[in-house]
Amino acid sequence: MATNSPTNSSIRKLNKRWGEFMIKSWLVVCSALSLITTAAIVILLVVESFSFFQNVSPSEFFFGTRWVPILEPSSFGVLPLLWGTLQVTIGAALIAIPLGLASAIYLSEYASDRMRSWVKPALELLAGIPTVVYGYFALTFITPLLRNIFPEIQVFNALSAAIVVGIMILPTIATLSDNALRAVPESLRQAAYAVGATSYEVTTRVVVPAGLSGVMASFLLAISRAIGETMAVTLAAGQTPNLTLSMFESIQTMTSYIVQISLGDTPAGGVAYQTLFAVAALLFFITLIINIISQLILERFREVYD
Amino acid sequence: MAFSSEREKLNLRKRHARARGFAFLCALVTWSSVLILGILLFQVCIDGFGWLDWEFINSFPSRFPDRAGIKSALVGTMWLISLVAAISIPVGVSTALYLEEFAAKGRLSKLIEVNIANLAGVPSIVYGILGLAVFVRYFALGRSLISGALTMSLLILPIIIIASREAIRTVPMSIRYAALSLGATRWQTTWAHVLPASFPGIMTGVILSLSRAIGETAPIIMIGALTFVAFLPAGPMDSFTVLSIQIYNWVARPQPEFHDLAAAGIIVLLAVLLLMNATAIYIRSKTERRLK
């Protein structure tokens, strides 16, 4: 196809430039899609929540203590759902943070490379298991176990959900914190050992403080995952909006409420349908704030070593 | 003097004992986590293995546990994943290429970057609501495969983009300079050199994100995939069910027989996921060897 005629070659150049332009435009459109997605989520949630708040006062929504969206007399206090989510999240964090951090310390400070090459993929596998499987695990394994220990516990209960979500987010904390701890330079450890510190003192007073920003970010990321977790919580914790301190009773979280409504035949346009968006907006903004804080911690407080 | 050194000795012994105890504790915790994984898999296998046969895979769901199977769910999952792959791979890789190879490092690309990081943290159920409002209702695509696939694509796009960018970044600059210096355009360089060089890394990321899409349940429930589908979808506009929904449906029933059916379904689901993960690990190890 090689031609020496000047017109042909300039046409080819033009074609090339034209093609290049088309391709670049396509790439730009694809990249813009991510911005459009975010905009669509925010606009949808804000607009639909706005029409919800024309029917229900914000003070009733944010401070009301009864959540009865479908039956009459209805009441739209979101606190029971928020509290249910909090119960599961706090329980899960109490389990996953100490255990996850301990696993991360073992992986980065104590395990041999051989050990590591076995344990880390196993933990990643644990993280890759679909959440509906964890729901099955909660209902058929953890809840019966809990009922043997505490006979008064209900079939659906917050404790089982918290335990299973804790197991679910543990690998996130372990693998991300392990990365953060391994990024701490060896020279810091050697310096501490040289002045006579034991491995425990090196870990708790040098390595963990030096990697703290990454460790904290992993905690927050895991907590935000726990808040947004849906299927395991829906299966294990039940569908009863319940403002209780007890972990033994059936509760409902924000996410499981959304599932409950979408499984039912709620007609589009009604107040009950709008609650979907109001609850989702609350969920979205809570997790967004936590994610942003976690990114800020990573950016602002990262210790840079050379 | 002697007294003090005696005390120091005691103190030192205590410190060493504490260090040993701590190391032991950390190891114990880690291995317990792995043990939990083992128990979980073992339990599922025990519950479900008896139900797992060809009839289970080749039957439609049923009210009677003996006759129930996952045919429609399995076919639905394959449909969904093929559509998700067809949508999300071109778009995701294109975005990654733009951000790494074309975009000027300015405010806009920084904005897109932060935005993608945040999208990756949005709970999956929120994507479900977005899909319900935009694809099912606004574009009137109904509770169809294509609605599900579009929603799921939005969900895994951030993961594909982040993984692809990391893979593209590992391509040495010298390869780009070599191509550009011979008169290749930006796109020719990208298409003929950067993309092939980063292909294994991109594939690994893609496979892992697709396996996440297979396991996701919540957004598909929001879209309104049916739980009882006694037919096979014939095209993207048909209604459908997927494995994870079928499992959810069985777990949510009170009868223990259905729980065992769920366990059998979980075995199939985990087998599919394991196969995909193994493929990803294989690709990764093969390219690591080549780079060495």
Using one digit for the tens of pLDDT, what is the confidence trace for A258-285?
Answer: 988 888 766 666 788 888 899 999 999 9
- Do residue A102 and residue B263 have CB atoms under 8 angstroms apart? no
- Do residue B185 and residue A16 have CB atoms under 8 angstroms apart? yes
Give the pLDDT score at A305: 67
Residue-number span of the structural domain to which A25 is assigned: 6-55
Residue A268 belongs to a domain with what CATH number?
1.10.3720.10
- A91 in the same domain as A10: no
B248 vs A contacts (CB less than 8 Å): 132, 135, 231, 235
The region of weakest confidence among A116-120, A217-221, A260-264 is A260-264
Q: Which of A24, A167, A235 lies closest to B251 in CB terms? A: A235
Give how far B219 is from chain A: nearest CA, Å.
Answer: 9
Average pLDDT score, chain A? 88
Bridge partner residues of B85 (DSSP): none
pLDDT above 70 for B260: yes
Q: How far is CA A181 from CA A176, A214, A215, B18, B88, in A?
A: 9, 8, 8, 21, 34
Nearest CA in chain B to A26: B94
Average pLDDT score, chain B? 87
- A124 in the same domain as A90: yes
Share of chain B above pLDDT 90, in %: 43
- A103 in the same domain as A79: yes
Q: Which of residues 59-88 of B touch A (CB under 8 A)?
A: none
- A245 in the same domain as A287: yes
Q: Which of residues 123-162 of B touch A (CB under 8 A)?
A: 123-126, 128-130, 132-134, 137, 154, 157-158, 161
- Do residue A40 and residue B126 have CB atoms under 8 angstroms apart? no
- A257 in the same domain as A126: yes
- Do residue B224 and residue A262 have CB atoms under 8 angstroms apart? yes
Give the pLDDT score at A95: 94
Using one digit for the tens of pLDDT, what is the confidence trace for B102-123?
Answer: 888 888 888 888 899 899 999 9
- The count of structural domains within chain A is 2
Using one digit for the tens of pLDDT, what is the confidence trace for B3-12?
Answer: 567 777 888 8
Give the pLDDT score at B1: 44
d(CA B48, CA B265): 8
- A125 in the same domain as A28: no
pLDDT above 50 for A3: no
Report ipTM (2 d.p.): 0.88
Using one digit for the tens of pLDDT, what is the confidence trace for A177-202?
Answer: 999 999 999 999 999 999 989 999 99
d(CA A34, CA A127): 25
Nearest CA in chain A to B189: A20
Q: Which of B123, B186, B248 lies closest to A283 in CB terms? A: B123
The region of weakest confidence among A121-130, A209-218, B118-127 is A121-130
Asked if B180 is an interface residue toward chain A (Cβ–Cβ < 8 A), one would say no
Share of chain A above pLDDT 90, in %: 52
Please report which confidence band the pLDDT of residue A291 belongs to, taking 50, 70 and 90 as the band edges.
very high
Give how far A27 is from chain B: nearest CA, Å.
Answer: 5
Q: What is the mean pLDDT of residues B149-168?
A: 94
CATH 3.40.640.10 applies to domain B56-291 = no
Q: Which of B102, B129, B161 lies closest to A277 in CB terms? A: B129
- A244 in the same domain as A178: yes
Q: Which residue has the tokens 């429930």?
A: B221
